[in-house]
Amino acid sequence: MSTPIKTITPPRFSVAYTLLAMGFISSAAAWLLIAEPVLMFSNVEKHAGHFPLVFLHMLAGTLMLFLGLANLYVGTTGKHFKYHKLIGRIYLIGGTIGASVAIVITLSSAHKPSGAGTFTNGTVSLISLATAWLIAAGMAYRAVKNMRYDSHQDWMIRSYVLVWSFVFCRIVSRIPGVEELGGGSAFIWLSWVGPLIICELALQWRDGGNLTKLNKTI
């Protein structure tokens, strides 16, 4: 006698949907604060001498923010999955350009205090962030080429958390006194290392769980 398969309706509001919504709202807010003035050429003087690079970085960063989020939505819900590969490719190409341009801008003398060396604390942190994104993106691409879709998903999530950490940095930096943490050294690192650690905890939580309890949920 065959047993009918019971269809389980997922909850209307899940943690994943909540995080996606929060990611979109925070990204949109940060885009209006940071990218919109560049797009409208209203702060060219602020970036004199390197505005073309900043404009390119803005375009690439916009692709990273919103296409990365769109692909996480596709991967989470399974909806519009036929666009997953196309969106992912544009995200990776745009992100590679954006991260590379960010390194170039960071290494330049733009926005550095007078007399500051090439490798200030902020410079090292931002280059490390861009490099971490390039590594995560490269690992995600390698995994999908080898049809390791579970690993691909995890690396894509890590890469997007690193993208979003830039948003987090810009929003939280508006809080008075935050940028002074550790004499100005702690915040520039914690703004992206902190979210990445939380992301890693979330990704690895199930792997370290009780097997007996986990098997009952399968």
Calculate the average pLDDT of the chain. 84
Question: Torsions phi, psi of 120, nearest 5?
Answer: -80, 170
* Number of Cα atoms under 13 Å in the Cβ half of residue 43: 12
Q: Token pair of 73, please?
A: 């939505």
| Residue in 103, 87, 106, 102 with CA at minimum distance from that of residue 56 | 102
Q: How far is residue 168's CA from residue 30's CA, in Å, rounded to a whole number?
A: 8
Q: Average pLDDT for residues 74-88, to the nearest whole number? A: 89
| Lowest mean pLDDT segment, chosen from 45-49, 95-99, 118-122, 124-128 | 118-122
Using pLDDT thresholds of 50, 70 and 90, give the confidence band for residue 10.
Answer: very low
> What's the whole-model pTM score?
0.82
Query: Which amino acid belongs to residue 186?
Result: A
CA angle 25, 181, 169 (to 5 degrees): 20
Q: pLDDT (tens digit, 9 = 90+) per residue, 182-209?
A: 766 788 898 899 999 999 998 888 777 6
Alpha-carbon distance of 159 to 4, in angstroms, equals 41
Q: How far apart are CA 83 and CA 94, in angstroms?
A: 16
Most confident of 77-91, 165-179, 202-216: 77-91
| 102 token code pair | 């960010």
Euclidean distance between CA atoms 69 and 76, whole angstroms = 10
* Residue tagged 């890693």 (tokens): 200
Residue 170, pLDDT above cutoff 50: yes
Residue 154 has pLDDT above 50, yes or no: yes
| Rounded Cα gap, residues 30 and 169, in angstroms | 10
- % of the chain exceeding 90 in pLDDT: 48
Pairwise pLDDT comparison (5 vs 85), residue with the higher score: 85
Calpha distance 134→138 (Å, rounded): 6
Q: First vs last Cα of the chain: how many Å apart?
A: 22
116 or 26, which is more confident: 26
Nearest-CA neighbor of 133 among 155, 149, 105? 155
Count of beta carbons in the 10 Å neighbourhood of residue 63: 19
pLDDT digits (tens, 9 = 90+) for 119-133: 778 889 999 999 999
Tokens found for residue 201: 């905890």
